[in-house]
Amino acid sequence: MEPFDYSPKIVHIAKVTGIYGMEKHLLTLLPRLNGQPYELNFLILIDPTRPVADYLSLLEHRGITIHPVAIRHDFDPFCFLAIVKHLQHIKPVLVHTHLMHGDLYGIAAARAVGIKAVISSKHNDDAFRRRQPIKMVNYMLNRKTTRIVAISDWIARFTHEVEGAAREKITTIYYGIEPAQAASNRQALRSSLEIGQEDIVLGIIARLVAQKGHRYLINAFAAAVKRNSRLRLLIVGSGELEQELKKQVRQLDLQEKVVFTGYRSDTDDLLNAMDIFSHPSLWEGFGLSVLEAMNMGKPVVASNVSALPELIEDGKTGFLVPPRDVKALSDALLKLADNSSLRHKMGMSAQQRCRTFFSVDRMVQETRALYTEVLRACTGLCQ
């Protein structure tokens, strides 16, 4: 335990529009930090047109003190002033920001009220971060942070090489995940989705956006199902490309083979119904859904991009294929679909890798150690 004689207040700041990778990460991390020894507060920037009541409820259930702050557009001075007011009232010793809006408003507000200890977590390598003026804005924000947390070594390199952050400021702390719990009845869930018990189910859990590569997966599945008629494809998630992807499925005459579930929160149950997990992203800061699949003992076929090679051992826990390469993706999926013993062997190796390198305990310990280091350097609290 850190040598404090009281509970230092720490504020996390992030914009939330749904429950995705970063949001799930904080649902795991914050309760494990709160009260041990820190007193955590979460300033959540919320677009009033996109309420996130479910996420707020999950945080409250986990004992996290939340402060919703309205953000009506990307450059909202009233949002900045509200954050300043909250920080003046809470008086934290450290501010920890996440994602673009959290960084932009949180770092500026923390410096405005004189907070010395500021940490920024980098969660993605989105294409827009490579373009001006965003690239310059991030460069300037990185100069104002005390330390930077990268959620993968890939993001650490990206933040240094693309956004100009000093390498010595950056620490990699991987997401952690709790060991998988017993999931619901596989047979019952498959029946509810009209999937046969003897079918071989390929699945993906991701937002329906271009980054995630669904259209390549659908094309790869179309080729694979011609060679193995037992295949089914389960697409879990919602997003802007939903209608376009459903149209693609109709054009390929795959309506009887592909199931769209929409957004679902019961990811472990859905993973339990799958045999193979696929994640053909074009870029990926980490890939939490990949880790969730590994945790459930599923082999993974994913793109060899960004941080995904840090999760998947090619040929041992799954297969890595070039992005946008439909044939390579189809061949890898078939290699697993046609060999149940290989699926089991790779799935068990994936689960063991998850438990060894991506535990919650490791994530929490490394985060606490960073907080102690930063507070010692900035405030002398840990002398």
Residue 221 forms part of a structural domain: yes
Q: What is the pLDDT of residues 73-85, one digit of tens each?
A: 999 999 999 999 9
222 and 96 within one domain? no
Are 23 and 129 in a shared domain? yes
Query: Are 14 and 45 contacting, i.e. CB atoms less than 8 angstroms apart?
Result: yes
Q: 65 and 93, same structural domain?
A: yes
Which DSSP category does 299 fall into? -
Measured CA distances, 27 to 57, 209, 314 (Å): 11, 23, 30
Q: Is residue 145 part of a domain?
A: yes
Q: Is residue 209 part of a domain?
A: yes
Q: What is the DSSP letter of 314?
A: B
Q: Are residues 83 and 200 in the same domain?
A: no
Is 329 domain-assigned? yes
Residues 227 and 146 in one domain: no
Check pLDDT > 50 for residue 1.
no
Residue 375, H or E segment: helix 360-379
Q: Does pTM surpass 0.75?
A: yes
Domain that holds residue 208: 186-357
Percent of the chain with pLDDT over 70: 97
Place of tokens 């209608």: 243
In a domain, 47, yes or no: yes
CA distances from residue 259 to 4, 18, 20, 188, 204 in whole angstroms, order as listed? 53, 22, 21, 16, 11
238-290 pLDDT, tens per residue?
999 999 999 999 999 999 999 999 999 899 999 999 999 999 999 999 999 99
Place of tokens 């919602």: 238
Are 153 and 267 in the same domain? no
What was the pLDDT predicted at 184?
A: 73
120 & 102 share domain: yes
Give the position of tokens 């991701």.
Answer: 206
Same domain, 167 and 276: no
Q: Confirm whether 109 is domain-assigned.
A: yes
Statement to judge: residues 323 and 196 lie in one domain:
yes
Amino acid at 222: A
- Check: CB of residue 173 under 8 Å from CB of residue 149: yes
* 3 state DSSP class of 301: strand
20 in any annotated domain: yes
- Give a yes or no: residue 181 inside a domain: no
Q: What is the pLDDT of residues 152-201, one digit of tens each?
A: 999 999 999 999 999 999 999 999 999 987 667 889 999 999 999 999 99
Q: Are 315 and 327 contained in the same domain?
A: yes
pLDDT of residue 324: 98
Site of tokens 């994602």:
99
Q: Are residues 134 and 158 in the same domain?
A: yes
What CATH number did the domain enclosing 256 receive?
A: 3.40.50.2000
pLDDT of residue 3: 54
pLDDT tens per residue across span 13-47: 999 999 999 999 999 999 999 987 899 999 999 99
| Residue 159 burial class via C-beta count within 10 angstroms: exposed 0-12, middle 13-18, buried 19 and up | buried
Same domain for 159 and 84: yes
Beta bridge partners of 95: 11, 118
Q: Which of 376, 382, 380, 357 is closest to 172 using CA atoms? A: 357
- Indicate the number of domains in the chain: 2
